[in-house]
A = this chain, B = another copy of it.
Amino acid sequence: MRAAAEPAQLDRMFFALADFHRRGMIDRLSRGPASVSDLAGPLGIALPSAVKHLAVLERGGLVASEKVGRVRTYRVEPRALDTMETWVARRKKLLNAQFDRLEAYLASQANKSSRR
């Protein structure tokens, strides 16, 4: 059983994803590690802006970086995607259980009225 992420960490994770360019960076990095300039160019954003977006993604636990020589390379942190997947799956499970109960209730009501 995976330990639940801390609330403050989830806040930072979801906040980091609430931006088109930052989601674009996750898309690019899901295909392979990249440097800041690899990321900034195709997204049409300036380097300083890309650096800021990457810092937000790093605080959100969504990317990790490593500096080799003069180049810092970024990659997606798979655990963040797992955390999100677990979060959604839990709510979907509860919601489906809710629909199942409603369905069972409606079926029982239909049975009652057909027996009258």
Give A contacts to B, CB under 8 Å.
7-8, 10-15, 17-20, 23, 26-27, 30-32, 76, 78, 81-82, 84-85, 88-92, 94-95, 98
How many copies of this chain does one complex carry?
A: 2
**Is the CB–CB distance between A10 and B23 below 8 Å?**
yes
Q: State A25–B8 Cα separation when bound (angstroms).
A: 16
- A32-B98, A81-B91, A85-B88 provided; 9 other pairs, C-beta below 8 A? A7-B20, A11-B19, A14-B15, A27-B91, A27-B94, A30-B90, A81-B88, A81-B92, A88-B88
Cross-chain contact of A85 among B8, B14, B76, B85 (Cβ < 8 A): B85
Cα distance A91–B17 in the bound complex, in angstroms: 13
Note all chain B residues with C-beta closer than 8 A to A94. Answer: 27, 30-31
